[in-house]
Chains A and B, each alone.
Chain A
C-alpha cells in the first residue's frame, strides 16, 4: 500500500497525559499536512510542512501541540497535557508541491481523552 499511513489508528488516554501520533506520507510527496476533525464537522487545518520546514501553523495549534518532520519524510504530532476537548480524529495528508495542492489523506488517528 503506497498511500498515507498513520499510527496508531486509535488512542485512548487520560486527561493530562501526553500523546504522540505518527504520519508516513506518500513517498514522493514533499508536503505534509495535519488536520483535526471533530464529530460531524469537516477537517480543520492545523499545520503543514514542506520537506522538513514547518511553514504554517493555525491558531488552533495551541502551545500544547507540537509537530515535527525532522528528515522531511515522516512526521509526528505531539499533544502535551491532553484535555477532553482534544478528543477528535487527527488526519494527516500529503501532496507534491508541483501540483495544484492535491492532498491525499491517511486513515486518521482517533483520540479519546477520558
Chain B
C-alpha cells in the first residue's frame, strides 16, 4: 500500500522561529495532501490542504508546498507561538481513504 515518510519525528523551536515538516511518498496517483494538527486527547484537526494541481498554498502563518516530481510536500509554520505546540500529521489520498505519516511532535518554547 501507500507509504508516507514524515520527518522529523520531534521538533523543538523557540517562539517566533519557523518550523518545517517534510513528508515523502511513493504513489504518483496521490492527488490530495492535507495536514492535521492533533492536541492531547483530541482528534486530528484539518489545518491546511493542497491539491496536485497546485504547488503552494498559504493561510496566515501556515503554508504548504508540493513537489509532485520529487514526491514530497512540506508544512511551514512561521512566527511560531506556544499554542502551535502539538503533533502534526501529513496525509495523502489517491482515492477516498487517507494514509497518514508517523507524525511530528512540535514543541514551541516561550
Contact of A42 (CB < 8 Å), options: B43, B96, B101: B101
Stretch at the interface among A13-21, A68-76, A95-103: A95-103
Q: Determine if A42 and B51 form an interchain contact, defined as CB atoms under 8 angstroms apart.
A: no
Query: Is B67 located at the chain interface by the 8 A CB criterion?
Result: no
Give the residue name and chain of the B residue nearest to A45 (CB): B97
Pick from A42, A102, A105 the residue with the most CB of B within 10 Å.
Answer: A42
Q: Determine if B100 and A56 form an interchain contact, defined as CB atoms under 8 angstroms apart.
A: no
Q: Chain A, interface size: which category?
A: 20 to 34
CB under 8 Å from chain B, chain A span 16-49: 31, 33, 35, 40-45, 48
Q: How far is the CA of A103 from the CA of B81 in the complex (A)?
A: 26
Give the residue name and chain of the B residue nearest to A47 (CB): B97
Q: Determine if B96 and A48 form an interchain contact, defined as CB atoms under 8 angstroms apart.
A: yes
Q: Determine if A42 and B89 form an interchain contact, defined as CB atoms under 8 angstroms apart.
A: yes
Q: How far is the CA of A105 from the CA of B43 in the complex (A)?
A: 6
CB under 8 Å from chain A, chain B span 72-110: 89, 91, 93, 96-103
Q: How far is the CA of A35 from the CA of B36 in the complex (A)?
A: 14
Query: Is B44 located at the chain interface by the 8 A CB criterion?
Result: yes
Find chain A residues with CB under 8 A from B34 CB.
102-103
* A contact set with B: CB distance below 8 Å: 4, 31, 33, 35, 40-45, 48, 55-56, 58, 91, 93, 100-108
* B contact set with A: CB distance below 8 Å: 4, 6, 31-32, 34, 36, 41-46, 49, 51, 89, 91, 93, 96-103
In the assembled complex, 26 residue pairs joining A and B whose CB atoms fall closer than 8 Å, in A order, are A33-B96, A33-B97, A35-B98, A40-B102, A40-B103, A42-B101, A42-B102, A43-B98, A45-B97, A45-B98, A45-B99, A91-B43, A100-B32, A100-B51, A101-B96, A101-B98, A102-B34, A102-B46, A103-B46, A103-B98, A104-B46, A105-B36, A105-B44, A105-B45, A106-B43, A107-B43
A42-B6, A105-B44, A107-B41 given. 4 additional CB < 8 A pairs? Answer: A42-B91, A45-B98, A48-B96, A56-B97
